[in-house]
Chain A
Amino acid sequence: QKEVEQNSGPLSVPEGAIASLNCTYSDRVSQSFFWYRQYSGKSPELIMSIYSNGDKEDGRFTAQLNKASQYVSLLIRDSQPSDSATYLCAVNPSSGNTPLVFGKGTRLSVIA
């Protein structure tokens, strides 16, 4: 059973701080990793994808991937109240013909 684990939270951070969201996955041969943001009552929105070990930065967001440790994280710098949402980690367990496996999500609350 391919699994993606996330701490359900809530993770509370003050406005302006760095929020750190973590995700572990069970399938060692996983190839592609995605972070989605989901506001309450809305659908998931893709915010980051990462395919290689290391860091990938996009604005205030940085995704970090460590395939040896089977660990992917999302850092949000200068957190804003508008970042308050559930963050879903999704993994493509192997190359080609397999579906994305989602974690249950981490609820982030940014306190003004």
Chain B
Amino acid sequence: ETGVTQSPTHLIKTRGQQVTLRCSSQSGHNTVSWYQQALGQGPQFIFQYYREEENGRGNFPPRFSGLQFPNYSSELNVNALELDDSALYLCASSLLVYNEQFFGPGTRLTVL
């Protein structure tokens, strides 16, 4: 059974740039959730995708957007990067909506 994978592992961008993060869900899982984790904080929910549709969104501005593909992999796009976007971005997959979620290794984004 293949676990959740994410790419890239680390990324450095400058303020105002755009970034795309990628996630492949665990085999058999049809739901992908994205979280942002700042240092010393718990993960904060960004949004979730189920069967290629956005299925819930947290308190994040529209410059955070996403996609899910037919193979259940997913992308997180962030436009007009701000310094406060520096964080660990986590992707989690699950079989049922909001059931047990399994995290990928994360992408560490640094915005300079």
Which A residues lie at the B interface, using CB under 8 A? Answer: 4, 32, 34, 36, 42-46, 49, 88, 90, 92, 96-105
Contact = CB atoms under 8 A, between A and B. Distances in A.
Interface of B: 33, 35, 40-45, 48, 55-56, 58, 88, 90, 97-106
Given A99-B48, A101-B45, 14 more contacts: A34-B100, A36-B103, A42-B105, A42-B106, A44-B90, A44-B103, A46-B102, A90-B42, A97-B97, A97-B98, A98-B56, A99-B33, A99-B56, A100-B45
Contacts of B100: 34, 46, 49
A43 B56 contact: no
A16 B48 CA distance: 40
Contacts, number: 55
Nearest to B4: A43
Contacts of B103: 36, 43-46
Contact of A97 (B41, B44, B55): B55
Contacts of A32: 98-99
A44 B105 contact: no
Nearest to B40: A104
A36 B103 CA distance: 10
